Structure 1
Amino acid sequence: MTSAPLHMEIEKEARTHQDSLTKPRGALGRLEDVACWFAARQGKVTPDPLKAHIAVFAADHGVVEEGVSAYPSVVTGEMVKNFARGGAAINVLARQCGASLSVVDVGVIPDLSNIEGIEHQKVRKGTANLLREAAMTPAECEAAISIGRSVAMRAIAAGSNLLIAGDMGIGNTTASACIICSCTGASPEMVVGFGTGIEHAARRHKIDVVKGALARVAGRPKSELLQHLGGLEIAAMAGFYLQAAESGVPVVIDGFIASAAALAARIIDPAASDWMLASHTSHENGHTLALAELGLSALIDFEMRLGEGSGAALIVPLLQSAIALHNGMATFESAGVTDKDG
């Protein structure tokens, strides 16, 4: 399957409508562009208000054994429990912006099957160590992608017209750095950041781990990068994005891990990025490089690096405002206001 086509004629009509509103043309800046962007994807000159669904995908990473994270793997499972209890940042932001929220265990090491509020779809208990071997088998990678697709399909069937993927997985900035380096050609020194708060010496070690992983897969086709260098939650996020694009539903891309998943999705379907809107510029190194590779430009920069889908959820009210202004303002003609060309 391939991404749904855009409605470019509708976007032109939306731009004409935007220019007729009672304000100087361009006075609302990128809010005008956002409204017309949604018009092209909904196929409506005046787009419907947004009904967002956030899916947080969680999994552990074998590369943690290389000492690349400030936190142990046990934190992944503990945070998933926190999501289920409603106590994490993404829970607060989902409530604030009126989004529905699902938490999906794709590959957390502990057994969480007795915890309510979690979708239990574990493919395996964490990936293998990507420095030394493929993170997943081809079948495991495909299974994780399929899980992401199914979560997106259910959200769309329930009425969501905007999707956000969040992540939880200690070690996933290392996997994401590997993917971003592979897709952009940037060096690990340019891409690797401080993750959950490692020190400078640990960052240098993390750079070496990424270099080693990239050397291990040198010469392999890009179609194998996700399987070799990714994570179960990253693969699920890629599947989530792919299904959204195929179903004609926009997605808001969060930060560093989300952009790596978006790059992985684009390898499978190059047109998938047409359905992506970048939310914020992560404080993590390399995120701007990933967004540039995707052809995206972030709307805000609050120096965030939390993950969970938090930056994407934060801009949902901003997106709603862009659409409300586009739909609700009077035109020069309807208001009886003289246009500059009138």
Structure 2
Amino acid sequence: MRISTEFKTALQHKIDLKTKPLGALGDLESLAFKIGCIQNTKSPQITKPTIVIFAGDHGIAKMGEVNPFPQEVTSQMVYNFVNGGAAINVFSKTNDINLKIVDAGVNHQFESDLEIVDAKIDFGTKNYQFEPAMTEAQYEEAIQKSGEIVHQIYNEGCNTIGFGEMGISNTSSASLLMAYFLKLPMEACVGSGTGLKEGGINKKVKILSEVFEKHNVNNTLEALSTFGGFEIVMLYGALLKAAELNMTIVIDGFIVTSALLAAKTSNTTILENCVFAHNSNEQGHKKMLEYLDVKPLLSLGLRLGEGTGAALAIPLLKAAVNFLNDMASFESAGVSGETEQG
């Protein structure tokens, strides 16, 4: 959406005339301005904020070479999400955020009465050490299903959405995607993931470098279908749909940002809708943020995923729009404003 210069000037004027020195609320002022521009109003609202967790398994995880935890942890954590025992459950409850869990392609058959969205493409991807992770048809199905999920959430009244993920070995997929989109060597992209030590990281770099060289990837579709998990392709589709619906998108950490790198090739203006929650402690994430030339709201040393960074940042979005809407202006409060100093 194109925002007029007149509107931007009026919005900034409203921010500047609050009872404070110019710029005294720092990044909250920039955040209020951004959300106002997304919603094209000087009185923006955060309504029914929601985080969607896409969960999927990766074929390479069965080998146990790039992941210290077994593949079964993905399904076990989905149960933990459903039972309310994970960090994202705690933070979502603390901050009054709706939470949806999506089975994008977990290698497990969940009971039909579980409170999860069944969007399973397959029981995990193929092992990209030997073949592409998924077919083009599976890739297209993942995009379609995730778009439908986001559209439904939007129709329920949500205008602010964040995304999380769960999938053992998905930092490997994210590293491969980062290497492709940023044109960086694998050692600059690979971190500790779920807890690899130096020897494990070196082995992971070697394996993923071999994977990268094996496949002739030429575009976004090929990159995602070759290296991505079903949950990462669903993140890609969800990001594009959220931008299409002009929602405020809260970007989490390393995995979600890898999907955003792909989404940016399909929608060159998507960053206008994105707020970056935090700087993950996964070493590649800082490079991604520098590449995108964006500033995250928080830096807490997180590297958990699940959308936890987004859940912690959403209260800042609420604070930003609330000061814009509810804080007195100098005129309404009868407070003298700043005078020009010679």
TM-score with structure 2 length normalisation? 0.95
- Comparing 319-328 and 18-27, the one that deviates more: 319-328
Q: Distance in 1 between matches of 2:172 and 2:281?
A: 15
What is the match of residue 190 of structure 1? 188
CA shift for structure 1 position 132: 2.1
Tell me which of 192, 199, 203 is aligned to 2:197.
Answer: 199
1:159-308 equivalence runs, <5 A: 159-218=157-216, 220-308=218-306
- Comparing 266-275 and 96-105, the one that deviates more: 266-275
Q: Distance in 2 between matches of 1:267 and 1:283?
A: 25
2:23 is the counterpart of 1:22: no
TM-aligned CA distance change 1:192 to 1:321, over 3 Å: same
2:43 is the counterpart of 1:42: no
TM-aligned CA distance change 1:7 to 1:191, over 3 Å: farther
Q: Distance in 1 between matches of 2:217 and 2:139?
A: 20
Q: Distance in 2 between matches of 1:185 and 1:339?
A: 50
Question: Secondary structure of the residue that 2:101 maps to in structure 1?
Answer: strand
Preserved contact between residue 76 and residue 170 of structure 1 (Cα < 8 Å): yes
Q: Distance in 1 between matches of 2:273 and 2:295?
A: 13
What is the match of residue 313 of structure 1? 311
TM-aligned CA distance change 1:151 to 1:198, over 3 Å: same
What is the match of residue 125 of structure 1? 123
CA shift for structure 1 position 9: 4.3
TM-aligned CA distance change 1:294 to 1:148, over 3 Å: farther
CA shift for structure 1 position 219: 5.2
Question: Secondary structure of the residue that 1:104 maps to in structure 2?
Answer: strand
- Comparing 97-106 and 265-274, the one that deviates more: 265-274
Question: Secondary structure of the residue that 1:203 maps to in structure 2?
Answer: helix
CA shift for structure 1 position 266: 1.3
What is the match of residue 30 of structure 2? 33
Preserved contact between residue 61 and residue 169 of structure 1 (Cα < 8 Å): yes
Residue type of the partner of 1:127?
T
TM-aligned CA distance change 1:234 to 1:219, over 3 Å: closer
Q: Which runs of 5+ in 2 are unaligned?
A: none
Per-residue Cα deviation, 1:17-49 (whole angstroms, up to 9, x for no partner): 111111100000000000010000011112113
How big is the alpha-carbon RMSD for the aligned residues of Structure 1 and Structure 2? 1.5
Q: Distance in 1 between matches of 2:134 and 2:295?
A: 31
Amino-acid identity (%): 35
Question: Secondary structure of the residue that 1:315 maps to in structure 2?
Answer: helix
2:65 is the counterpart of 1:65: no
Question: Secondary structure of the residue that 1:39 maps to in structure 2?
Answer: helix
What is the match of residue 335 of structure 2? 337
Per-residue Cα deviation, 1:82-112 (whole angstroms, up to 9, x for no partner): 1111111111111111111110001000111
Q: Distance in 1 between matches of 2:88 and 2:5?
A: 33
Residue type of the partner of 1:179?
L
Preserved contact between residue 47 and residue 157 of structure 2 (Cα < 8 Å): no
What is the match of residue 155 of structure 1? 153
- Comparing 326-335 and 29-38, the one that deviates more: 326-335
TM-score with structure 1 length normalisation? 0.95
Preserved contact between residue 243 and residue 270 of structure 2 (Cα < 8 Å): yes
CA shift for structure 1 position 199: 1.8
CA shift for structure 1 position 51: 2.4
Residue type of the partner of 2:35?
F
Question: Secondary structure of the residue that 1:16 maps to in structure 2?
Answer: helix
Preserved contact between residue 49 and residue 324 of structure 1 (Cα < 8 Å): no
Per-residue Cα deviation, 1:279-316 (whole angstroms, up to 9, x for no partner): 00000011011122333211110000000000000011
Question: Secondary structure of the residue that 1:81 maps to in structure 2?
Answer: helix
Preserved contact between residue 75 and residue 108 of structure 2 (Cα < 8 Å): yes
Q: Distance in 1 between matches of 2:196 and 2:261?
A: 25
Residue type of the partner of 1:80?
V
Q: Which runs of 5+ in 1 are unaligned?
A: none
Q: Distance in 2 between matches of 1:184 and 1:129?
A: 23
Preserved contact between residue 46 and residue 317 of structure 2 (Cα < 8 Å): no
- Comparing 90-99 and 5-14, the one that deviates more: 5-14
Residue type of the partner of 1:41?
I
Q: Distance in 1 between matches of 2:197 and 2:81?
A: 27
Q: Distance in 2 between matches of 1:86 and 1:314?
A: 17
Preserved contact between residue 14 and residue 45 of structure 1 (Cα < 8 Å): yes
Q: Distance in 2 between matches of 1:129 and 1:212?
A: 13
